[in-house]
Amino acid sequence: MNLQLTALILYSLVFIAVGFFISRKVRKADDFLVAGRRLGPGLLATTFLAANIGAGSTVGATGLGYAFGWSAWWWVGSAGIGSFILANTVGPKIWTLAARNGWRTVGDFLDHRYNRSVRGLIAIMLWIGTLMILAGQLIAISQILEIVIGTPKWQGCLIGGIVISAYFAAGGLLSSAWVNLIQLSVKFAGFLLAVPFGLAAAGGWQALGSTMQALPGLGGRGILSYVAILVPSFIISPGLIQKLYGARDERAVRIGINWNAAGLVLFAFAPAILGIIARSQYPNLSNRELALPMVMTKLMPPWLGLLTLAAVFSAEISASDAILFMLSSSLSVDLYKTFLRPAASDRDLLFAGRLAAVAGASCGVLLAMALPSIISALQIFYTLMAAALSAPLIVGLYSRRPTAARAIVAIIFSVGITAATGSTVIGILAAFVIMITP
């Protein structure tokens, strides 16, 4: 057993141990689903950042930097812009309503504002998309393990699925918030050191000049595409909204999510720089998503390579548990409690949440083995979520006029138009027109 594998095993055991330790405080469904509604600004910012800096923000964004240079900033930067809007508009308003009505999921809001049909339609669409994004995180874990340790893809996906389901199923949002604190510390330490060491190994900024000039960039259309998909996704993401339900007050929502937004905007530079460094040193990679693993294993001193490995592993695991949270809470509350067993007790709901987490992780592992890349998996999720949920959630939050029937039409038309035209912007605009037209 090599050093890297030993370190990852020990590191994973820390997650699981913390998860089981915190799980002793999980006595009811609210503890599992919304952390007992007692997260302060610091823990809320931590769990948001941990969720948002995942496979797409590290392995995927570095791959974009490898292919397009500085334009890769827009992948994570757009998430920061969306988070800033969430912190100062939708977030505080929906938290107030959730605290007053005891909501646990976005489906609770949709049911309250429209009806059970809208709740069920959105839930079904998001289950599909959520499994896609979970698969993307697990693909990233498998790629890292393949480069560093030599494990085949299926084994890497299985290892990731076991780790996240073990500590998340134990304590839900409450345990993941504390595990995320450890993960985020390792992430920022690893990437803050990786950038200067990578630059030094590549010969400094001057040595990267020709590489940066040769990279094509995304262009205005490519940037607009990322902004259109990602900004609304990070305003209306069910997983993020359900996390903010765990805040102790409205002030914690504003401060915590704004800190998260600032962290994302700054972090967005790191993968872009590392991608450019990888392009300068390894210009002929067959898969651009191998750029970060190559920099991590080939250009870093051994001690930093180990820390960076832990940072990337933390990113993928923490984002995976956030997705698993969204999936398990929706399955347990939006499906089990709402449609299958309305009379379920609090204990039954807690058990259902844990069972849904294990089942969701299992399905994500199987899907990860079949999908080709991280970015392809994430784009499916973000496109579907932005098209389906943006207009019903935002318009419904600020206006009482649109009916449930109109929301259903908007959802179906938005997804259909997006699929037909390939444009998320057109699909979202069509949904808003349907929702607000008298």
For the segment 152-162, what is each residue's pLDDT rounded down to a tens digit? 888 888 888 88
- The Cα–Cα gap between 174 and 43 comes to 10
Angle in degrees, 0-180, between the axes of helices 116-148 and 404-421, rounded to the nearest 10? 40
Residue 136 has pLDDT above 70, yes or no: yes
pLDDT value at 87 more than 90: yes
Q: What is the pLDDT of residue 246?
A: 94
Q: How many CB atoms lie within 10 A of CB 16?
A: 18
Could you tell me if 331 and 314 are in contact, meaning their C-beta atoms sit under 8 angstroms apart? no
DSSP annotation of 193 reads H
- Does residue 181 register a pLDDT over 60? yes
Q: How confident is the model at residue 321 (pLDDT cuts 50, 70, 90)?
A: confident
- The pLDDT assigned to 415 comes to 92
Average pLDDT value for residue range 416-434: 92
Q: Phi, psi at residue 273, to the nearest 5°? A: -65, -45
Where is pLDDT greater, at 171 or 434?
434
Q: Which domains, and CATH codes, for the chain?
A: 3-376 (1.20.1730.10)
What are the Cα distances from residue 8, in Å, to 21, 156, 312? 20, 12, 11
When mean pLDDT is compared across 93-107, 236-250, 317-331, 334-348, the lowest value belongs to 317-331
pLDDT: which is higher, 12 or 143: 12
> CA 372, CA 218: separation in Å to the nearest integer?
22
Instruction: State the pTM of this model.
Output: 0.85
Residue 20 confidence (pLDDT) above 70:
yes
Residue 251 — very low, low, confident or very high, per pLDDT cuts 50/70/90? very high
| CA quadruple 16, 18, 21, 27: dihedral, nearest 10 | -90
Q: How confident is the model at residue 376 (pLDDT cuts 50, 70, 90)?
A: low
Provide the pLDDT for residue 427.
93
pLDDT mean over 400-426: 92
Share of the chain above pLDDT 70, in %: 98
Average pLDDT, the chain: 88
pLDDT value of position 196? 94
Does position 1 have pLDDT exceeding 60, yes or no?
Answer: no
Note whether 280 and 146 are within 8 A (CB). Answer: no
Instruction: Please write the tens of the pLDDT for every residue from 254-312.
Output: 999 999 999 999 999 999 999 999 999 999 998 888 898 889 888 988 888 888 888 88
pLDDT tops 70 at residue 21? yes
Q: Averaged over 13-32, what is the pLDDT?
A: 83
247: alpha, beta or left? (left if phi > 0; alpha if psi -120 to 50) = beta
Region 223-240: what's the mean pLDDT?
91
